Structures are given as C-alpha cells and as structure tokens.
Structure 1
Amino acid sequence: MTKLLIHLFVRNSEKLDDPEVRRSYGRFAGIVGIITNFILFIAKIIAGTIANSIAVTADAMNNLTDFASSIITLVGFRMASKPADREHPYGHARFEYISGLIVSLLICVVGFEFARDSVHKILSPEKTDFSLLATLILGLSILLKLWQSLFYRKVGKLTNSETLMAASADSRSDVITTSVVLVGALITRFTGYNLDGYMGTAVAVLIMITGYRLIRQTSDPLLGAAPSHVLVDDIYRTITQKEGIIGVHDLTVHDYGPGGCFASVHCEVPAERDILESHDLIDNIEKEFLSEKGIHLVIHMDPIITDDARTNELKKQVEALLDTISPEITMHDFRVVWGPTHSNLVFDICVPFGFSMKDDELVEVVSDKIHKLNSTYYAAITVDHDYVPKS
C-alpha cells in the first residue's frame, strides 16, 4: 500500500537524489501523519469519554501530540529545503534534526502530564465502563498505528530522514501503549478489577521512555556525532585505490543535514613525483566525491619521501616501537632531518579519544624510546586524535 501511495502522490519518486523529490516525500509523509493521527485522536477521545477512562484519554492525547508532530515534520522539511544564504552558508538541512528534537520533547511532556493524572486516578479511582465500541476503536487504532510505523520507516529509509525514523519509532511505541490499554480494558470488563489508572501510568511511562530515546537519537547529529563506519570505510577505500596515493589520515566529517556533508582529509603522495601531477590527482578526487557521493571534500596534500632507504628503515623501527606502547597508536607524515651531530625525527601520532595516556605523557615516553634507539635522535611529535571510527 505504501508503494502505491508513493507512486500516486510523489512525482518522480525514484529520483531520491533530487532535493525537490525529497521535499515531496517529506510533505507527503507529513500530510499522511496529520490525517491518520487526527482520525485516531477523534476516535480515541470519543472512546475515552464514553468509557470514562484516563488510559484511553491519555492514548488519545498521545495521538494529538503525534498530530502536532506531523505538522512539525512538514514544517521541518520545508525549512530544511531552504538554500544556503549569508547567515547559513552550509544550508538549513539541520533544521530537520531540530524538528525531530522538538517532536521528542513534546512526547516527553505528554508522558509526564498523563503520568501525573494517572497516579491521581490510582489514588482516587473512578468507575470505568468499556463498551464494545471503545474496545473496537482501540483494536482498529493498533492496526492503523502499525501501518503508520511501517510507512514512516520506509519513507525514512528512502530519504535518509532522522525525523521520519523518529516518527516511525514513536508510532511503534504507540502500538505497544494502545495494546497495553486494550488489555487493561478487557481485564476491567471481564473481571471487574479497575486497572485504568495503572494502565494510564504504564502508557505514560512508555511514552516518556520513547521520548527520551528519541531525544538522544535526534540530538546526536546536532552535537556532532561520529560518522558511520560505512561512510568512513567508503571514503578511505575510494581514495586509497587511486594510483599515486600512498596513505590517508586525519579524516574529519561534518554533517549539516541530508545533502550537506563536508569532509577534509590528508593524503600522502610521493615527494619525488611532479607536484602538478599530484595536485591534478587531488583535484580529480575532490570533484569525484562531490559529483558521485555528494560530499564536499577538501584534501591536504602531504609529500612523503619514498626513495630514501635509510629513512624508510628508521620509519619501520619507530612504527615497531610505537606498537610496543600500544597497538592503537598510528603514525603518519614521518620525515627525518639528518645532521652531522644529531638528527630530528618529525612525525604525527594518532590515538583514539580516551587513550590511557595523556598527550604530554605519551610524547615523553615515545621521545625517550627514540632517544634510546640512538642518542643522536631527537623527536618532534604532534599528537592527533581520531575524529572518525577506525576503518
């Protein structure tokens, strides 16, 4: 059914790289959410009023929050599609993350409000009367919410949208909460035990848990979460396959929302190669990343001496030395300034965040071990940290 709806209402739906098509998906998902959630809210508020049930009313208000969330999703996609301007040179795509965060906060607020009301009803219980109509409405709403979750997930994956994936998780949670309410209603109807306040509390707690998880999920991109292993491995693999690239290091990736990926990396090239040839290679790699992957990549070129046997042998010794300290340490940009009385070894080492040694301590340990290799060796070391997951 979802495929049919997409085919009917999203023009050129197969062109997912087209920003206008992606906006059409967002508008379509927002409209579907507005219609279905409003229907659920009206149906459940009627059922809750008839049954005098705080649990059903809480579930209805949860759908009203989803209705508001769908409007926010619609506005979020519209705002995220605005082009870059002087105040926002990287575009507005992160507004989509902000809208997802707003949705998550609304979910938490609704959960807290109904937790308070449900506890009050436990302390001061009121008679409930679950009719066949109320039970039927809850059962149908479960089926509609399940379809809604699958719909959001499919469209979210197609468009790589954090907001829609958050909406899918919220809908999936609603399936659980409404099922809890339905079970409580059946128990109340057939046993006479009034579990309405308890069921309302359970619904409220589940809503708040969902909201908390979604806050973490939607705030990570805003805080600057590490890029995925898939993206990092693809970048490394694409670059290192090029003839004339010796090594890659110091990769950083900044996510400004869908379609707004900016990255920088250092590429080692043979120092003996014509600099214009290496520069042309770097330019071609940058153009390829933008045209084929949509990544704005900036490459810093590091010339490396490869035809000096003495330097290459010393580099191997230093790499082995670093491995004795920790296999997590990597080295790059190694060069040696040879002199008649002493030689300077200049290089960078990279360690992960949370490494067992502080930077100054690590530099001191490595320098001492290098000096022990040869008393005429002195190290000039720069410590870097991994900003991406290990390839």
Structure 2
Amino acid sequence: MTKLLLRLFVKNYENSEDMAVRASVGKLAGGMGIVCNGILFLGKLIAGILSGSVAIIADAVNNLSDASSSVVTLVGFRLAQMPADQDHPYGHARYEYLSGLMVAVLILVIGIELVKSSVGKIIHPEAIDFSAVTIGVLIASILIKLWMSKFFGKLGKQIRSLTLEATAVDSRNDVISTAAVLLGCLIGYFFDLKIDGYIGLAVAVFILYSGFNMVKETISPLLGQQADAELIEKINALVLSHEGVLGVHDLLVHDYGPGKCFASLHLELSAEKDPLTCHEMIDHIENEVLQELNVDMVIHYDPVVIGDVEINRMRICVEEIIKSIDGRLSLHDFRMAKNEKEEKLCFDLAVPYDMGQCYEKLQKEIEAELLKRDMCHHTEIRFDGKI
C-alpha cells in the first residue's frame, strides 16, 4: 500500500536524496494523516457520545490532535522547501524541526485537557452504554493506526525525517491507548465496574509521556546536538583516505535541517608540500565530501613539521605528560614558537566534556611537569571540547 501511494503521488520517489522528492513524501504523509485521523476522530466522537464514555471521547480528541499535527507537518514540509534568501542564507529546512516541536507541544496540551476531563469522570462516574458499534469503531481504529504506524515509519526511514518517525511512534502509541480504552469498556460491561474515568486518565498520562519525549527529540537538533556518529565516521574516513593526509581534527558539523548540512575540519599536511598543491587537494576533498555525503565542507589547512628532531622530542614529551594526567587527553597542531625572550610550546588540547572547563588547572599541571624535566617552556594551549 505504501509503495502504491508513493508511485501515485510522488514522482521519482526512490530518489530520497532529492529535496523535491523529500518534500513530496512529507506532503503525502501529512495528507494521509489528516484524512485518516479525521475519519477516526468522527467515528470515535460519535461512538463516545452514544456510549457516554469519556475514555472514547478522550481517544477521539487524541485523533483530532493527530490530525492537527498532520496539518502542521504538511505546512512544515512546505515551508522547509523555501529557498535560501538574504536573511536566511542556509535555507529554511529547519522548519521541519519546528513543525515537529509544534506537534509535540500540541500533544502535551491535549494530554493536559484529557487529564482534567478524566478526573471529573472519576469523581462523578457514570454507566457506559456499550454496543457492537462501539466495539467495531475501536477495532477499526486499532487496525488503521497499526497501518499508519508502519506507513509513517517507512516514509520516515526513507527520507530520514525525525518528524515522520515521531509521527510513527505516536501512531503506535495510539494503538496502545485505543486497546486500553477497548479493554476498559469490556471490563466495565462484563463486570459492571465504572473504570471509564481511570482508563481515560491512563490514556491521558500516556499521551503526556509521549508528548514529553517528542519535545526532547525534536528540540535537540534545534539546540545543536552532536552530528550522527555514522556521518562523522564517514567524513573522517573519506578525508583520511587521501594520500598525504597526516591527520584530521576539530570536525564540526552544523545541521540546518534535513539535506542542509555544513561542516568544517582541520586537515594536517606536511609543511614541506607546495602550498598550491595543498590548496588544490583541499578543494578536491571538499567537493568529494559534498558529492558523496551531501555535506558542504570548509577545510582549514594545518602544515605539520615532520622532520625536526627537537620538535618531535618535545611533542613526545608533552604527550607523555598529558597521558599521565588523563589518558583521554590528546593534542594536535603541535609547534614551537621562538623569539628573543622565550620559547613557547603551542598546541591544541582536546578535553573530554565530563572533565569540565578546568583549563587553567590543566595548563599549570602541564607546565609544572615540564619544569620537573628541566624544560623551562611556557605553553600556549587552545582547549577543544570533545566527547
């Protein structure tokens, strides 16, 4: 069914890297969500009113929120298509993340309202008029939501969309909540127990829990979360595969929305290489990263002196010192700066985030160890955070 819908509504749907295809897939998902959730809302609302069940009405309102979420998703994908302009040179792809956040917030609001109505039903319980129509509506809802969960999940994986993957999880949660409502109705009918309000409250709490998790997932990329580990590994592997590259460091990846990824990297090459040759090589690597990984990269060239005995000796000494302080510390861009008054050791030190910003203390420890080894060198250290 999913492939059929893709063939009917999305041209060249297999080319998921194409931004136009991605937008079309998102619009298809949003449209299907509006139609399916709208039908479920009307069916459950009628069944809830006829039976007098606040749990069924709560589940109906949940479907209404899902339909509203699909509207937001549809608008989000449409806005994300807007091209870059003077005010937004990196494009508008983050609208997709914003739409996902709005969906999550809407779910939280609905959950709070359902808690209020369910508590009222617990305080003032009423009998439920259970019927075959009610059972039919709830079973049909479970089956439709199961399909929707798989549908959104497949589309989300195909275009790597956090919004659609979150929608798939939400649909799966709806299956659980509707099954709980159905179970509550059956228990109330066969055992004459007025637990409708409690079931409604359980559904509301479940909705709040899902909404809270969705808020965390959708807000993280907006706050600048770490890039995907697989992407980092691919970038490093591609760059290091070129002959003459001595090392890479300070890789920073900036996510401006799906398909809009920018990065910067420091590349170490021998200082003896011709600068024009190095420049041409860097241009080639940047273009290769863009073509193969769809990442717009800027590479900073770090010339490394590899044949100087004294520099190598000092580097080995400093590496031994920092490893004695903490085995996770690492350095790069090591060089010696000399003038008439003093000789300084200059390098970058990568410090794990969990060590905190104890930079001044670290520098004093390193200089104290150097002094113990009769190396009266000052240090000029640039500290880099790392995992």
Q: TM-score, normalised by structure 2?
A: 0.97
Please tell me whether the aligned partners of residues 332 and 348 of structure 1 are also in contact (alpha carbons under 8 angstroms).
yes
Please tell me whether the aligned partners of residues 76 and 96 of structure 1 are also in contact (alpha carbons under 8 angstroms).
yes
SS of residue matched to 2:14:
coil
Question: Partner residue of 1:211?
Answer: 211
Question: Partner residue of 1:67?
Answer: 67
Distance 2:357 2:98 in 1: 37
The farther-off stretch of 370-379 and 91-100 is 370-379
Question: Partner residue of 2:48?
Answer: 48
Distance 2:87 2:166 in 1: 28
CA-to-aligned-CA distance 1:285-343 (integer Å, 9 cap, x gap) = 11111122111100110101001122112211211111111111110010123679853
- Deviation of 1:178 after TM superposition, in Å, equals 0.4
Question: Partner residue of 2:334?
Answer: 334
CA-to-aligned-CA distance 1:246-288 (integer Å, 9 cap, x gap) = 1111111110001110111111110011111111111111111
Q: After TM superposition, where is structure 1 displaced by more than 6 Å over at least 4 residues in a row?
A: none
Distance 1:346 1:326 in 2: 19
Question: Partner residue of 2:314?
Answer: 314
Distance 1:127 1:270 in 2: 82
Q: Percent identity?
A: 45
- Deviation of 1:231 after TM superposition, in Å, equals 1.1
The farther-off stretch of 279-288 and 307-316 is 307-316
SS of residue matched to 1:296:
strand
Alignment of 1:117-266 (within 5 A): 117-266=117-266
- Deviation of 1:10 after TM superposition, in Å, equals 1.4
The answer on 1:281 being equivalent to 2:281 is yes
Distance 2:36 2:307 in 1: 69
CA-to-aligned-CA distance 1:157-190 (integer Å, 9 cap, x gap) = 1111111111111111111100110100110111
Q: 1:185 to 1:103 in 2, by over 3 A?
A: same
Distance 1:370 1:8 in 2: 71
Aligned length: 387
Please tell me whether the aligned partners of residues 370 and 376 of structure 2 are also in contact (alpha carbons under 8 angstroms).
no
Alignment of 1:269-308 (within 5 A): 269-308=269-308
CA-to-aligned-CA distance 1:192-225 (integer Å, 9 cap, x gap) = 1011000000000000000000000000011111
SS of residue matched to 1:91:
coil
Please tell me whether the aligned partners of residues 342 and 376 of structure 1 are also in contact (alpha carbons under 8 angstroms).
no
Question: Partner residue of 1:378?
Answer: 378
Distance 1:128 1:26 in 2: 40
CA-to-aligned-CA distance 1:53-107 (integer Å, 9 cap, x gap) = 0000000010001111111111100000100001111100000000000000010
Distance 1:343 1:370 in 2: 13
- Deviation of 1:385 after TM superposition, in Å, equals 1.3
Please tell me whether the aligned partners of residues 290 and 296 of structure 2 are also in contact (alpha carbons under 8 angstroms).
yes
The farther-off stretch of 61-70 and 289-298 is 289-298
The farther-off stretch of 305-314 and 87-96 is 305-314
Q: TM-score, normalised by structure 1?
A: 0.96
Superposition RMSD on alpha carbons, in Å?
1.4
